[in-house]
Amino acid sequence: MKRAINLERLRRDLEELGQIGFNPKGGVSRPSFSQADFEARDWFKEKLRQASLEVREDGAGNIFGRLKGQQEEPIILVGSHFDTVINGGLFDGSCGVLAGLECLRSLQEYNFNPAFPIEVVSFTDEEGNLVGDFLGSRAFTGFLNEELLRKDQTHFGRPLSEILKAAGLSLESVLQAKNQAPKVLAYLELHIEQGENLDLEEIPIGLVTRISGKRLYYASFIGRSNHAGPTPLELRQDAFLGLADFALRSTRLVASEYEDGRLTIGRVQLHPGTFSVVAGQADFTLDLRHSEKSSLKAMEEKVLALAEEIASARALSFHSQLVDSTEPTDMSVPLISLLEEEAKNLNYPYLKMISWAGHDAQILSWKTDAALIFIPSINGISHSPEEAIRWDDLEKGANLLFQAILRLAKG
Ligand SMILES: [Zn+2]
């Protein structure tokens, strides 16, 4: 019989971890360095020790469990993250970390003697609850935005240095984490799709060929606040109407001209924000994504030009500040081929696909060969308490990961 992982054990782990930071009314809330995250970190390190793996934590709080190899370097790295968004689900990230752990335990049970060390990793703050996405994997690979870190701010209002200090870390230790990183031969990550393609097509495995690029902006239309009674409609400089016009026209623009484009306005705040006053300012977040680099750039330019055009037609001004920018990233072609071969060996149907969400694999791919395996998200739901998977799909995903590690670790 083919060697395989133990689904029951993996399922128990996921359910146990899912209790940490769980609220029956609001799913799992486990942002990095919250009380729940500290508890999860202790739980995970204990699991690694129980599995006789060597535990290591770097200056960014990334946690590693190592199965020794015949040589010291390079290593094969598998994992993901177990921090969550507020009111998130049980599976985003956790599946990848715990499937990695399960693979290492299974390797030991088969007395497999790998040519290279194999490490399972849990990266810090993939969700960007603190200071933008991928703090941990960026620190590990050396692709941090040092300027942003040195601003010492977080989305929670508390200074980053204070939050890090409570975790026994510092801005300096985060910046130094790259120097503690071993050479990585390959990075493999299992993750839920967070979209509906696999579930709709009833295919258990997605092999990601590319992760889309994105631009994140803070933006504002600025007009003039005035009394909602005496000010005639035609004399208003209503920032809200500027935004409403922009929201509809920019979405139409992307839908009609950029088939593989996405535009999302995720948060809106009007000022002063009350009944009797025309909104003088409309602040919003703008999230632009595309799978092709040149199209992303062209789309971004057109959308911003449209905002300027609308502002000037409505006697408003438009301001935008770029807060995050990532180019579309290809996953490793040799690793995708290897995964295809193994999926065929296992008789698992698979789909090659684009990922519309960012992942640690994207950051790792700037440094090493990286691959991303998707399993279906039921109804495409994620970042929600309703996030769900089928255990059977997880078993297939983890077994594919396991076979890929076996191949790579033979040397
Ligand atoms: Zn994730």
Q: Let me know whether 314 and 346 are in one domain.
A: no
Picking from 280, 308, 326, the residue at the C-terminal end of a domain is: 326
* Cα dihedral: 264, 270, 274, 278 (round 10): -110
- Structural domain including 290 reads 213-326
Distance (angstroms) between ligand 1 centre and the Cα of 126 equals 7
**Per-residue pLDDT tens over the stretch 336-346:** 999 999 999 99
Instruction: Name the DSSP class of 224.
Output: B
Q: Let me know whether 246 and 300 are in one domain.
A: yes
Q: Let me know whether 201 and 321 are in one domain.
A: no
Q: Do residues 141 and 363 touch, judged by C-beta distance below 8 A? A: yes
Question: Considering the domain boundaries, does residue 2 fall inside one?
Answer: no
Per-residue model confidence (pLDDT) at position 132: 78
Distance (angstroms) between ligand 1 centre and the Cα of 134 equals 10
- DSSP letters, 335-362, are HHHHHHHHHHHTT--EEEEEESS--HHH
**Per-residue pLDDT tens over the stretch 112-170:** 999 999 999 999 999 988 987 899 999 999 999 898 899 998 877 899 999 999 999 99
Average pLDDT across the chain, whole number? 96
Question: Considering the domain boundaries, does residue 127 fall inside one?
Answer: yes
Per-residue model confidence (pLDDT) at position 119: 98
**Per-residue pLDDT tens over the stretch 351-391:** 999 999 999 999 999 999 999 999 999 999 999 999 999 99
Distance (angstroms) between ligand 1 centre and the Cα of 181 equals 22
Q: Which residues of the chain have pLDDT under 70?
A: 1
- DSSP letters, 290-302, are ESSHHHHHHHHHH
Whole-prediction pTM: 0.89
229: domain CATH number is 3.30.70.360
Residue 326 forms beta bridges with which residues? Answer: 214
Distance (angstroms) between ligand 1 centre and the Cα of 358 equals 8
Q: What is the total count of domains within the chain?
A: 2
Question: Considering the domain boundaries, does residue 264 fall inside one?
Answer: yes
Distance (angstroms) between ligand 1 centre and the Cα of 214 equals 16
Per-residue model confidence (pLDDT) at position 1: 55
85: domain CATH number is 3.40.630.10
Q: Let me know whether 11 and 132 are in one domain.
A: yes
Q: Let me know whether 128 and 207 are in one domain.
A: yes
